[in-house]
Amino acid sequence: MARYVDIHPDNPQERLLQQVVDALREDALIAYPTDSGYALGCRIGNREGRDRILRIRGLDDRHHFTLVCKDFSQLGHLVHIDNAAFRAIRAATPGPFTFILPATPEVPRRLLHPKKRTVGVRIPDHTVVHALLDLLGEPLLSSTLILPGETEPRTLGWDVKEELDHVVDVVIEAGETPAEPTTVVDWSDGAPEVMRQGAGDASRFVTQVG
């Protein structure tokens, strides 16, 4: 059964965050709230965690994983960003955007798109996630919690616990989250291409294409 951790959405208790961090360092798979619904997450080095995410979501190896970062500095170590992308992405973060970019050598090959050698990165605008990442000290390997046959992410901790009780290790509760997934912008070819319109305002990237 998954451990259910109820964390205050505005003033996260460090004691409870530490419990989640300890579990992550022991290769736990967590379900956690973000600014665009629930997500599944584990440490980047957790090989089995990656495979568990794929199984839960019914995805194959071509899935673009996302590295959830606490700030732009951390993000910049994981992907190659040119000047135009740098300015636009910095202006849009933190927020409900996922950016697909060429990965640096710091990202394990097993996490990259098999042909493009790209990875998703994002900085969510969510107090609990920021506090968790700060305590963990590294990005989370993550994927939006959209189950097979569904089109929107789960938004309630108790619902996630009920549905995934035996396939995840920890469920964080921190109040209801928005139901829209992130807006996904592929910037791997030097210009932004909106791959999925979600919670974020994509117009700033659409206008740059012209």
pLDDT digits (tens, 9 = 90+) for 8-44: 999 999 999 999 999 999 999 999 999 999 999 999 9
User: Given 3-state DSSP classes, what are the helix, strand and coil percentages for the chain, each rounded to the nearest 5?
Assistant: 30, 25, 45
Strand blocks (E) in 59-105: 66-68, 97-102
Q: Which residues of the chain have pLDDT under 70?
A: 207-210
Within 103-198, strands assigned E span 118-122, 140-144, 170-173, 183-186, 193-196
Q: Where do the domains of the chain lie, and which CATH numbers do they carry?
A: 3-209 (3.90.870.10)
Asked if 72 contacts 94 with a C-beta cutoff of 8 angstroms, the reply is no
Tokens of 143: 């994927």
44's tokens? 């980047």
pLDDT of residue 210: 41
pLDDT of residue 64: 83
Model pLDDT, residue 35: 94
Could you report the per-residue pLDDT of 45-60, keeping only the tens digit for each? 999 999 999 999 999 8
The pLDDT value recorded for residue 171 is 98
pLDDT, residue 142, reads: 96
Burial classification of residue 178, based on how many CB atoms lie within 10 Å of its CB (0-12 exposed, 13-18 middle, 19 or more buried): middle
- Looking at residue 207, its pLDDT comes to 55
Which element (helix H / strand E) includes 132? helix 127-136
d(CA 71, CA 121): 11
CB 170 within 8 A of CB 30: yes
Whole-angstrom distance, CA of residue 147 vs CA of residue 167: 12
- Confidence (pLDDT) at 135: 97
Instruction: Tell me if 118 sits within 8 A of 188, measured CB to CB.
Output: yes
**What predicted TM-score, i.e. pTM, was given to this entire model?**
0.93
Neighbours of 115 (CB within 10 A): 7
